Structure 1
Amino acid sequence: MLNRTQTLLDALSPAERRVGAWLLAHPQAALAQDTRTLAAQIGVSQPTLVRFARSLGCAGFDDFRLQWARESGAAPGPAPVTLATLATSPSLDALCRGVFDFSLQALAQVRDRIDRRALAQAVQRLDEARRIVLHGQGNAAPVAAEAQRRLQRVPLPALACAEAEALAAMAQALSREDLLVLVSHAGRAPGRRRPCWPSPPAARRWRPRPRWRCVPTCPTAATR
């Protein structure tokens, strides 16, 4: 939940982002205070805490608190490592250890929570694809480019593009044997108002069928 909060922080509303940033800076406060006191200390309403928790996929703030406690309890002693705590590292050695601990923690969470069935389906579709096109905008663009490099080492026929206009042109040449992979941290692309699929008459000849659903990913896991 710590990594999920950091990953989706920029996609939240201003009030929800305020809650997330405060909790990342004070990771133990969510467990030590009741909802009313916590909301007052952050400077938001109690319903905002509920909306924040639901934006992260929790049933409510109590569910969020429970998952937050499980992660905090997994590492007894010092407070969990977050980007906020890394920024206040007292020395270079502490910063170095913190960065590695943060990465190991993120990888362990992905390992334990990844959907093995969905992973198997993704691997099968990658293996069967005649051509793989990867697309990501903004922070997701380097992830798509790195995925292209790693897939080509297998080797698999992969090509990454960061421009929406280039993707629209490439989409006209895709067939049912090809695979389009959309990389996104928040599940939506800023500024994208309409799909990039071919317009008539090309659309009448071929209608694309999505072959892989996009889901938010944590930044550290995306580098594995």
Structure 2
Amino acid sequence: MIPKRIGILIPSTNTSVEADFKWVTSKAVTAHSERLAIPDGTMTPAFLDQMNQDLAAKVASVASASMDLIAYACTSGSFYRGPAWDEQVHDLVQRTAHVPCVTTSTAVMDAFQALDVQRISVITPYPQWTNDKLAAYYGQQGMDVLAVHGDVRAAAQGHRAINDQDPDDIIQFALDHFDPDAQALFCSCTAWRAVECVTALEAALGVPVITSNQATIWAALRQLDMLHAAQPLGRLFTRSAVC
């Protein structure tokens, strides 16, 4: 059997997406990354503009390996210009690669809808301007964003360091900042090792926990009708499997 191939477009400083795909998926699915060059340091809109400037060429490169789907796996890179930009990214990828595309920001929104949640509490490793953009994006999509808390420790040494924050620190930050009126917790950023926190946080908080990488993997596998090829990762996978 030929495995389903998923192309992943990721920031060049990100080392978490590939590891999470490998951890969650089986041999029936393989993931193949293309890196989008971005400088390290304090994240700015200009950094994201630079990362996206040669997006079409990067899509064509990974698509040349005969992908079944391509995932644009950068949360802030798909929401920082608003919903219209996310749609542009989606359309550019599909038009260039001639295969389906998922973007992380839309995958997260689809996850909210699949879990029938409206009120969300959000934690991130982002600076404040990015948190504001996130709240605006999901607010425009109809979500009730109760709170967005950014852990400034994560990127204190530059955004590449987000990949190195211990999952136990993410769990504690979530427990300290979760809004009890929320129906779900969203841990944003594909560089954050939040996938490793899902089981513990759902047990502690009693609500669904959605992370950027978890939602991206789920959306990609659902598009390919391959959810059975993944280990269940939180309520997102177990609930949607029976819906």
What is the TM-score of this pair, normalised by structure 1? 0.36
For the pair shown, the structure with the greater C-alpha radius of gyration is 1
Q: Which has the higher contact order (CA 8 A, sep 6+)?
A: 2
Between Structure 1 and Structure 2, the one with more strand by share is 2
Between Structure 1 and Structure 2, the one with more helix by share is 1
What is the TM-score of this pair, normalised by structure 2? 0.34
